[in-house]
């Protein structure tokens, strides 16, 4: 499987997150426009910088001019992150970790969460922010866990139903309709949680640092 990192223009994670992702096979770094400003601070070398280039600082552009492949796409009917995702799909990447997808722009944060759903059927997208990792799932999913792990689940409409085994607060054909009901801070009872997700996609949010510590990511 081809894996890549897309670094957006929000709050970046610590540099050790990049080092870890490189180690586990996410070898290609794509910066979405102003994400390159974070890359240069971390002394990272992107493979590609893609976007309408209205957010990248002039000094960042100059620094990467002959070090990375810079692709300007001026169209405004998609975001810079979407431009990067479409590039990744065109080049047969199958998994993406999206970094810097959240920050001081709530509208950008919401948009990037929506992008995970929008492209779900085409490319596997995860989001890491601060200590959290978000992954989308559908169908039957088995998650390796550890006793006491906090796991939060979110659905988006009344049609999507979730049944769980291995969670302290059991879900039985439950609709976690966004704005009506959620399963925030549920708890794993043992080393395995099974989810059966019907008629849609659910977001599962876990602690990225604890998953690394326990060898689960």
Using CA atoms, how far apart are residues 162 and 145, in angstroms rounded to an integer?
18
Using CA atoms, how far apart are residues 94 and 25, in angstroms rounded to an integer?
12
Domains of the chain from N-terminus onward: 3-130 (3.40.50.10240), 135-213 (3.40.50.10240)
Q: In terms of DSSP bridges, do strands 132-144 and 183-187 run parallel, antiparallel, or are they unpaired?
A: unpaired
Q: Is the pLDDT of residue 105 over 80?
A: no
Of 87, 80, 38, 83, whose CA–CA distance to 63 is shortest? 38
- For residue range 181-194, what is the model confidence (pLDDT) as tens digits? 889 999 999 999 99
Using CA atoms, how far apart are residues 13 and 148, in angstroms rounded to an integer?
25
- For residue range 30-60, what is the model confidence (pLDDT) as tens digits? 999 999 999 999 999 999 999 999 999 999 9
Average pLDDT rounded to a whole number, residues 78-84:
94
Strand partners for 125: 96
Q: Is the pTM of this model over 0.85?
A: yes
Whether 162 and 205 have beta carbons less than 8 Å apart is answered as no
Of 178, 183, 132, whose CA–CA distance to 157 is shortest? 178
């Amino acid at each position: 499987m081809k894996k890549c990192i897309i670094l957006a223009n929000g709050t970046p994670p610590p540099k050790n997150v990049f080092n870890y992702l490189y180690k586990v096979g996410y070898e290609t770094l794509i910066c979405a426009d102003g994400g390159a400003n974070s890359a240069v601070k971390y002394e990272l070398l992107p493979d590609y910088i893609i976007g309408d280039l209205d957010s990248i600082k002039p000094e960042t552009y100059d620094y990467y001019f002959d070090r990375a492949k810079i692709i300007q796409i001026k169209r405004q009917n998609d975001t810079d992150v979407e431009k990067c995702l479409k590039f990744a799909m065109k080049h047969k990447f199958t998994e993406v970790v999206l970094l810097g997808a959240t920050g001081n722009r709530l509208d950008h944060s919401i948009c990037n969460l929506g992008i995970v759903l929008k492209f779900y059927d085409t490319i596997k997208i995860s989001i890491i922010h601060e200590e959290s990792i978000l992954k989308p799932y559908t169908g039957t999913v088995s998650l390796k866990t550890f006793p006491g792990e906090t796991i939060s689940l979110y659905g988006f409409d009344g049609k999507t139903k979730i049944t769980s085994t291995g969670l302290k607060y059991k879900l039985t054909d439950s609709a976690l309709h966004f704005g009506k009901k959620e399963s925030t801070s549920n708890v794993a009872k043992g080393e395995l949680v099974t989810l059966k997700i019907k008629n849609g996609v659910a977001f599962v949010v876990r602690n990225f640092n604890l998953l690394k510590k326990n060898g689960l990511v």
